[in-house]
Amino acid sequence: MDTKHIKISDYNYDLPDERIAKFPIAQRDHSKLLVYTHGEVSDDVFYHLPEYLPKGALMIFNNTKVIQARMHFRKETGALIEVFLMEPAQPTDYELMFQTSGHCAWLCMIGNLKKWKEGSLHREFEIKGHQLTLSVAMKRGEDGKQAPVAIGGGTNYWIDFEWDNPNVSFAEILEAVGELPIPPYLNRETQESDKTTYQTVYSKIKGSVAAPTAGLHFTDAVLADLDAHGIDREEVTLHVGAGTFKPVKSLEIEGHQMHTEYIVVHRRSLEKLLKHQCQVIAVGTTSVRTIESLYYMGVHLISNPDASEEDLHVNQWDPYEKSEDGNLVDGIMPMQAIQAIIDYLDRNGLEALHSSTQIIIAPGYTYKIVKMLVTNFHQPQSTLLLLVSAFLHGDWHKVYDYALSHDFRFLSYGDSSLLIP
């Protein structure tokens, strides 16, 4: 199959606005669960999920935490400018970034860009009883014009942040003035309740601008039930970029560029993969992209053992260019690839792998590690629907037709599915 020439119009379906869940249900684990098992479809409630999973299986979650990435500044003219944090620029490490005091820099998307032609923007507010002024300035070209930075599939702007209280961290500033960036298709303003409901109960590592929404259905009770069923839970981190909502606008997917997303995988997680013969139940498409990218990072290390972590970046089309059918590269098995990453960490005295991926998973791709998938229902003509179609060997219509005809709720705050191809 020539994946690059897939027509996105073949992955369309009619999604009425009233089927898009604008808010979550009151008890997150009482959402509906569609169960697809080898072509058969049924439905249940989410808190029964553990009953469908094989005892002793490895289940991997994305523990990223959504940051309050949207900030608004009003110019003296009255124009409102939105600064949307996309990825750290100085420092580039997420953990260090949130600890910075006094100044830092981010690559950002800018709303109402045409009204911000020059100068800095300022905002005054109070944190811990102290007045504070936050200033933002855009890095501009020598001619004074805006200088966009094209990086990882998107056009962003370098924004310098300065604040006049060294005792306040950037994390505290975001808590005070940032807004949670709920998905644009919800067509509503962010509400205070979203600060809780748009985070998974197991979120830990700040950095995402969108939630890994398959995880929103899990409660402490469901996690305890998984443990009681003997499920081995493990976590990885992929910081979800705004590109997850970027619609495919090109006729063929070759014209669509994936955003870069940053991942962290600890040595213990890699060891768990080996212990479980590299067979995984993935919670959400972000976990899928992380886990499947690991295979290609390991493949790269087998032929380039001295590569840097940056060199391990997985390019969008690597799976299809390194092997004809998106299958194994040079016969390298997933266990070999994961072992190569563990050996790399050991050689370099590292406890975790920090790298990035732009992987696009679409029909023509052969899954290496993920065997079962827990996921929500995705937008028509989206890369996430392509990922699901590849997982179900093209049988996505059966799942989506059933969901539409059985009153399932769609998208981020919608219902869930367990897919077992």
6-40 pLDDT per residue, tens:
999 999 999 999 999 999 999 999 999 999 999 99
Q: Is residue 237 part of a domain?
A: yes
| Tokens representing residue 31 in the block | 């959402």
Residues 317 and 248 in one domain: yes
Domain boundary among 126, 155, 178: 178
Residue found by looking up tokens 């999973």 in the block? 53
Q: Which percentage of the chain shows pLDDT scores above 70? A: 99
Phi/psi at 33 (5° precision):
-125, 115
Q: Is residue 343 part of a domain?
A: yes
- The answer to whether 34 and 402 are in contact (CB under 8 A) is yes
The answer, yes or no, to whether residue 211 has pLDDT greater than 70, is yes
Mean pLDDT, to the nearest integer, of 265-271? 98
pLDDT score recorded for residue 244: 76
Mean pLDDT, to the nearest integer, of 259-277? 97
Three-class DSSP category at 327: coil
Residues 397 and 411 in one domain: yes
Q: Is residue 155 part of a domain?
A: yes
Mean pLDDT, to the nearest integer, of 48-61? 98
Residues 174 and 47 in one domain: no
Q: How far apart are the first and last CA of the chain?
A: 19
> In DSSP terms, which residues pair with 372 in a beta bridge?
281
The answer, yes or no, to whether residue 149 has pLDDT greater than 80, is no
Domain boundary among 178, 205, 232: 178
Write the pLDDT tens digit of every residue in 78-109.
999 999 999 999 999 998 999 999 999 999 99
Higher pLDDT: 246 or 353? It is 353
Residues 58 and 167 in one domain: no
pLDDT score recorded for residue 152: 56
- Residue among 203, 194, 260 at smallest CA distance from 236: 203
Alpha-carbon gap, residue 125 to 78, rounded angstroms = 18
| Region of poorest pLDDT, from 231-235, 318-322, 323-327, 385-389 | 323-327
pLDDT score recorded for residue 243: 79
The answer, yes or no, to whether residue 216 has pLDDT greater than 90, is yes
- The answer to whether 361 and 370 are in contact (CB under 8 A) is no
For helices 383-391 and 285-303, give the axis angle rounded to 10 degrees: 80
pLDDT score recorded for residue 153: 56
Residues 314 and 330 in one domain: yes
Alpha-carbon gap, residue 8 to 179, rounded angstroms = 33
Residues 197 and 326 in one domain: yes
Residues 282 and 357 in one domain: yes
Residues 246 and 154 in one domain: no
Phi/psi at 326 (5° precision):
65, 20
Average confidence score pLDDT of the chain = 94
Element (H, E) at 160: strand 154-163
| Region of poorest pLDDT, from 45-59, 321-335, 393-407 | 321-335
Q: Is residue 186 part of a domain?
A: no
State the total domains in the chain. Answer: 2
pLDDT score recorded for residue 341: 98
Residues 55 and 153 in one domain: no
Mean pLDDT, to the nearest integer, of 384-398? 97
Mean pLDDT, to the nearest integer, of 187-207? 95
| Tokens representing residue 177 in the block | 């003035």
Residues 325 and 200 in one domain: yes
Higher pLDDT: 365 or 150? It is 365
Split at pLDDT 50, 70, 90, the class of 326 is confident
Alpha-carbon gap, residue 171 to 103, rounded angstroms = 12
pLDDT score recorded for residue 121: 96
The answer, yes or no, to whether residue 151 has pLDDT greater than 90, is no
Higher pLDDT: 245 or 45? It is 45
pLDDT score recorded for residue 150: 62
- The answer to whether 234 and 61 are in contact (CB under 8 A) is yes
Write the pLDDT tens digit of every residue in 105-129.
999 999 999 999 889 999 999 998 8
The residue type of 315 is N
The domain containing residue 53 runs over which residues?
A: 3-66+193-420
Residue found by looking up tokens 């469908």 in the block? 52
The answer, yes or no, to whether residue 154 has pLDDT greater than 70, is no
